[in-house]
Structure 1
Amino acid sequence: MNSAACWRPVAFRRRLLLVFLVAAQTLAGVYLFAQTVPEQANGGTTATLLAVFGLLFAWIGVGFWTAVFGFFALRFGGDPWSLSSRVGQPTPEEATVAPTAVVMPVCNEPVQRTLGGLKAIIRDLERTGQQESVDFYVLSDSRDPEIWLEEQATCDRIRTELAPGQQLFYRRRNINLNYKSGNIADFLRRWGRRYRYMVVLDADSLLSAHCITRLIQLMEARPEAGIIQTTPRLARAETRFARLQQFANRCYGRLYGSGLAAIQLGEATYWGHNAIIRVAPFMTHCGLRKLRGPGLFRGPVLSHDFIEAALMGRAGYEVWLEPAIAGSFEESPPTLEDDLIRDRRWCRGNLQHLWLLATLGKIRLAHRMALATGIFSYLASPLWLVFLGLSGYVALADSTPALPGVMATTDTGSGPGFLLVLVTSVLLFGPRLLAITDHALAKRTSRFGGLLRLSGNTLMETLAALALAPIRMLIHTFHVGGALSNLRVGWQGQNRSGGAKPGLSLRHFALLLASAVAALSLIQWHAPSLTPWALPVLAPVLFSPALAWWLSRKPGEGQWLAVPEDYRTTRVIDLAGPAPMGHRTPGGLDWFEQMVLSPVSARDHRRSASPLRGKKARALASLVDRCATEGKQGLTHRELSLICKHPEALAALHWRVWHASHESPWRETLTRMAQSVEGDSPIPAPLPRRQEQIAWVEVAS
């Protein structure tokens, strides 16, 4: 394979061309826009308006030209400089075996759906004959004992079904430091030196066996590569909102992924999942220290992936984006509310990069631009809001404003105004037309139900995107304000099942709704002539609770917004199946009750904790006593987890519960279990109170 120096001149020329195209388009747009601004407008206000317009026009231009790059790369049979093009497919005899860990960090996720996906990956890998070189790890940060006990039991069940040579490990951290990046770091400190590569998953990731083996093969063929990132396709969408996202990803993502890869080449970004990492340099160079700045810029790094790619590049390793690798899937949030909640975390993490841009030295320009792009993806929303406000203000300076068009200041009857609207429309909707053209030329339209159906679905998705754009703009503006104010943001597992209720949607969008009503009232009061031009922005916001609720529903029969997976199944998705969102233990018990009542669990559930004495033993005995007398509702998640982690406490609680008095809240649990088996199965006997257990209780008391 060619050396790293060969692709850098190519990347430089491509990036220079992108800068030239965006700059030329932006200068032309600003010139046309300046011709439409009323002459009566204040000079300072006009200058600010033109500056904001220039930034936003350049922003949408970057997306358009990236899609154009991708279109031409695909039309010429793929990028010849990509790793996938330069490394051929291996024969079975040439298949490379390298010690690899597939790690799935989880935190309070729906267990059966998440681990069902992991099981599908394992089963698909059985066909390749490389299962002995790949180990799987579930890295849990879950705090709720009902969740992590189910995780543990499900992993145990999957482990019994594995083929010979396959390994699945479960580890739950006692101390949750630094979110997902801290979870991965803890794994690497303990077991990282066992492996040459690490494939990182999200809780909703699905990777086919071909994808995993191809990633390993590319890593083996390219020693200079530190990270190889796939472009995940959205799959398993069930709600209307998720299917909108899935269709957009499958229809347009092919262009954007190819364009990004062609521009970035060996200085791509890492998205935090569905990627393979060379473990040794990652451990050496990609450790993340806590930020030491003010407010938002203090504490753990939330969006770690872009920074880790930049640190890998600074160490001299390459980061590649390979859209040609098939079999990489993830899921979309099922509702608009869940998508915006996730954006709140991402917004805070991306804005932290402002501090890192200023403090991290020797970062390559391409990675700095990636960080800046991530920051601007959220700052663009308040800038759009500023632009709309300034446009309305400037329009009022004209005594006879002519306001047809998308911008209040633009007179589309004039030549510059009409041309500006035309160019803006091309930049906004051009990628969608290019995507349809690409699928038609590649004879892929049948995968979307035919050209007519593909075109109709594209129109439907475009209208939905236009309706959601004002909602996203305002919510993202709130997110930016909250992040800069350093408001605390929770970091828990995501909802993956949909099913939002109308009341929940109304409460979630209450502030947004109140803001839209106030804005429309002020416009009608002070500038009624602008009301017709404010309605296209504010009307979707006024209907946002109803729109969000409707999108959270599952569509009716038929393939609504069809994607290729609807017509041709993929093995790993079929293996994952429509997993249930919850799972109860036998007898109608929850997981903590099952752990306490089962004599097998109380006797054999041994962890690494050594026998306790003194103060810790007395504290545990107090927890056991409270749980036995008040029931599990009398303890916090942390206290219940402490009992489950210590065999002596669990055995003592087991004996106390089985010998509970009629007044004990556990008596109802025992009755419920007895009724559920209806006499067909014997009720498990209590664990005998062994002499060592009596001794532990006496020491503790």
Structure 2
Amino acid sequence: MSRSGCWRPVAFRRRLLLATLVAGQTATGLWLFAGTLPEPAQGWAVPALMTVFGVLFAWIGLGFWTAVFGFVALRRGGDPWSLARATPHPHSQAGSLPATALVMPICHEPVQRTLAGLRAIYQDMQSRGEIMDCYVLSDSQDPEVWLEEQAACARLCDELDAHGRLFYRRRTLNLNHKSGNIADFLRRWGRLYRYMIVLDADSLLTGDCVRRLVLLMESRPQAGIIQTAPRLARADTRFARLQQFANRCYCRLFAAGLAAIQLGDAAYWGHNAIIRVAPFIRHCGLRRLRGPGLFRGSVLSHDFVEAALMGRAGYEVWLEPAIGGSYEESPPTLADDLRRDRRWCRGNLQHLWLLATLGRLRFAHRMALATGILSFLASPLWLLFLALSGYVASMPLAPSPALPGILAGGSTGSAGGLVLIAMTALLLFGPRILAVVDQLLAGRAARFGGTVRLWMNTLVETILALVLAPARMLCHTGHVLGALMNLKVAWQGQNRAGHTRLGFGLRQVVLPLVAAAGVLVLVQLHAPGLTPWALPVVAPVLLMPCLARWLSRPAAPGLWLRVPEDTATSSLLEAADSAPPLARRWQDLSWFEQAVLTPHQPRFTPPRQADMTGRKGAALQALVDRCVSGGAAALGNSERSRICDHPGALAELHRHAWSAAPGTPWRETLHRLAQAIREHPPEQTKAQPVTYEQPLCLDTVS
């Protein structure tokens, strides 16, 4: 048995040490904090304040000590108990890997950018002699999106000569979101593969990373999931560059620490990971929640739960940050980041129900679910802490607060208060300092522009993180309240290109703005002495629209928060960024109009789908008749999709459109098509528009 086979006692000792350090630090903090409270303070507010302080102090301590574990592991040259180091480096001949599928679930994503990434992955694997089956699994419902997906996949299949390797499928019934999409794939084709590598729409994996993951799985039969630590890439805006710098500078430390503490009980992050298919099918199926309100319906944050179920079945889940070549993207703007957090918040809070109802989960996986929950509950707890601190400080006979933030209400200049301030600063900023020191000791400073620039950029990132923190606190508090009230959360594709309308950004911060202004007015009216301590929290929120707008602007690579990719760009990233468009529609025509005027029938479409008889045929004929008389605008998205999904209905509409009488909507559409052809003849266009007179050049699975 390899050394990693007896990792559980090591993991137990490390977790016990972590718990001891966090508990000791929290007890010390509580003792110091109690000494800073004003003598006359009493009643229910004091124990409540102490309790909230203890939870939050333990929370920030957990992050600090995780970074310390990572620093120690990296200074030792890596964790000797990690799977990547404990398992001898596996080798195999090119093209001899077991059956593995690359699976990319998408839903209303930017088509060209997403499939350009998939093309780069496929070409990188191809250059190394490895070709795997790739599945694009669409949940898109808007025909303007999925028709482009279908056309782009067809062109991609032709360009890569990937017939029989690249498959596109669109679900018409979107049950259980992403986890349901993966489950649908596994029910249909899971038996064909030993492993699957799950990608997000913004995922990029090098061929070497893919190969390494498969070979590690082969060498470790007990492993059910191996998760990489993705690096952020393709950051075009200032906000995205801010996230990318933090990821590239600090996350090496945190990932190493997490991996050292969790070992074979790690979490799964939903993408950029390899999964052993058979046990995943057998043990990781997710039932719909049957609790009240929030705890009813689909499991949104499915990844942590699937890791817990895999662990319950006796399989290991590993986080391997040492495996390079794994990339993802950051939301380009603050508004997009907050919108994603709203969905994550709802999903993580659902884990409260799962913790109560799922039995026999390993303790480490229960802790992973609990920390995911607390990552969002921490925001309302911080807000509650500030409110309780202000209340205690405003009690009669209580002296004016002299210690900012966490020490509001304390005695002026007390030694205990100063020590507590120093401890808090160490816990908050210590991981950043350790991360920079690690980069310097590892000789990586030049990748960030040199030692001085690395420290300066760290300072800039820290200041901006502190400025953004109050807005995040208020927004996340709103997300928690919205989830507890079971407010609906839209499930749709993310903005990845960096273009955000001003109105959209304002909608994300309007409630925090109103709340911050209201708090400032109340404090000034009822406790004006606390106004100086409220301003550092309130002022950044009031300035948030301007700051968010500024951060959403394009960033100059190499000038704004320099990262290693500025000087040593991966060939994979270059290929994804320089890829030409895969499919274009005629100018001034929608994808639906183009599909009607140049119809296609995907191969392997069962003949019965073209039948226009019976009740279904009559309903489709009614849609066709309405579209013939009223044009594309006469139908809604779902109705257009029904026509495009049915070859018979599409052919019928095509015949009527081409024989449309003068003055009708389709005659006007034909004029627009003719004009587009005259202005941009196909032979003069670099990327030819997709022609549908021939069968779709894609092995579409149905």
TM range (shorter): over 0.9
Given that residues 4 and 82 in structure 2 are in contact (C-alpha distance below 8 angstroms), is that contact kept between their aligned partners in structure 1?
no
Give the 5 Å matches for 1:226-625.
226-397=224-395, 398-407=397-406, 408-411=408-411, 413-556=413-556, 558-577=558-577, 584-598=584-598, 601-602=599-600, 607-608=605-606, 609-625=609-625
Please state how far the C-alpha of 1:571 moved relative to its aligned partner. Answer: 1.5
Given that residues 654 and 687 in structure 1 are in contact (C-alpha distance below 8 angstroms), is that contact kept between their aligned partners in structure 2?
no
Please state how far the C-alpha of 1:561 moved relative to its aligned partner. Answer: 0.7
Normalising to structure 1: TM-score of the pair?
0.94
Q: Give the secondary-structure state (helix, strand or coil) at the position aligned to 1:35.
A: helix
Normalising to structure 2: TM-score of the pair?
0.94
Q: Give the secondary-structure state (helix, strand or coil) at the position aligned to 2:44.
A: helix
1: distance between equivalents of 2:51 and 2:360? 30
Given that residues 621 and 649 in structure 2 are in contact (C-alpha distance below 8 angstroms), is that contact kept between their aligned partners in structure 1?
yes
Please state how far the C-alpha of 1:562 moved relative to its aligned partner. Answer: 1.0
Please state how far the C-alpha of 1:90 moved relative to its aligned partner. Answer: 3.9
Q: Give the secondary-structure state (helix, strand or coil) at the position aligned to 2:405.
A: coil
Change (3 A) 1:248 1:343: same
Report Cα offsets for 1:208-259 as digits up to 9, x if no partner.
Answer: 1011000001000000000000001100000111010010011000000000
Please state how far the C-alpha of 1:93 moved relative to its aligned partner. Answer: 3.9
2: distance between equivalents of 1:506 and 1:643? 38
Given that residues 470 and 540 in structure 1 are in contact (C-alpha distance below 8 angstroms), is that contact kept between their aligned partners in structure 2?
yes
2: distance between equivalents of 1:318 and 1:604? 41
Given that residues 4 and 87 in structure 2 are in contact (C-alpha distance below 8 angstroms), is that contact kept between their aligned partners in structure 1?
no
Given that residues 199 and 276 in structure 1 are in contact (C-alpha distance below 8 angstroms), is that contact kept between their aligned partners in structure 2?
yes
Given that residues 412 and 418 in structure 1 are in contact (C-alpha distance below 8 angstroms), is that contact kept between their aligned partners in structure 2?
no
**What residue is the counterpart of 1:47 in the other structure?**
47
Please state how far the C-alpha of 1:528 moved relative to its aligned partner. Answer: 0.5
2:255 partner amino acid: G
2: distance between equivalents of 1:679 and 1:346? 46
**What residue is the counterpart of 1:67 in the other structure?**
67
Please state how far the C-alpha of 1:514 moved relative to its aligned partner. Answer: 1.0
2:399 partner amino acid: T
**What residue is the counterpart of 1:151 in the other structure?**
149
Given that residues 111 and 581 in structure 1 are in contact (C-alpha distance below 8 angstroms), is that contact kept between their aligned partners in structure 2?
no
Report Cα offsets for 1:163-189 as digits up to 9, x if no partner.
Answer: 578710000011110000000000000
2: distance between equivalents of 1:580 and 1:48? 59
Report Cα offsets for 1:253-285 as digits up to 9, x if no partner.
Answer: 000000000000000000000000000000000
- Aligned-pair identity in percent equals 63
Given that residues 110 and 581 in structure 1 are in contact (C-alpha distance below 8 angstroms), is that contact kept between their aligned partners in structure 2?
no
**What residue is the counterpart of 1:693 in the other structure?**
none
Change (3 A) 1:581 1:540: farther
Please state how far the C-alpha of 1:411 moved relative to its aligned partner. Answer: 3.9
Report Cα offsets for 1:498-542 as digits up to 9, x if no partner.
Answer: 223444333332211111111100000000110110000000111
2:244 partner amino acid: Q
Give the 5 Å matches for 1:70-85.
70-85=70-85
1: distance between equivalents of 2:682 and 2:34? 84
**What residue is the counterpart of 1:691 in the other structure?**
none
Q: Give the secondary-structure state (helix, strand or coil) at the position aligned to 2:169.
A: strand
2:187 partner amino acid: R
Q: Give the secondary-structure state (helix, strand or coil) at the position aligned to 1:161.
A: helix
Q: Unmatched 5+ residue regions in structure 1? A: 689-701
Give the 5 Å matches for 1:675-686.
675-678=675-678, 681=681
Q: Give the secondary-structure state (helix, strand or coil) at the position aligned to 1:202.
A: coil
2: distance between equivalents of 1:658 and 1:164? 34
Change (3 A) 1:587 1:52: closer
Given that residues 651 and 687 in structure 1 are in contact (C-alpha distance below 8 angstroms), is that contact kept between their aligned partners in structure 2?
no
1:400 partner amino acid: P
Aligned residues: 683
| 1:126 is aligned to 2:126 | yes
Change (3 A) 1:310 1:399: closer
Given that residues 584 and 591 in structure 1 are in contact (C-alpha distance below 8 angstroms), is that contact kept between their aligned partners in structure 2?
no
2: distance between equivalents of 1:562 and 1:455? 11
2: distance between equivalents of 1:687 and 1:425? 63
1:342 partner amino acid: R
Report Cα offsets for 1:81-125 as digits up to 9, x if no partner.
Answer: 111102343456488511000000000000000011001000000
Please state how far the C-alpha of 1:50 moved relative to its aligned partner. Answer: 0.6
Given that residues 49 and 391 in structure 1 are in contact (C-alpha distance below 8 angstroms), is that contact kept between their aligned partners in structure 2?
yes
**What residue is the counterpart of 1:178 in the other structure?**
176
2: distance between equivalents of 1:681 and 1:45? 75
Q: Unmatched 5+ residue regions in structure 2? A: 684-688, 694-702
2: distance between equivalents of 1:372 and 1:158? 42
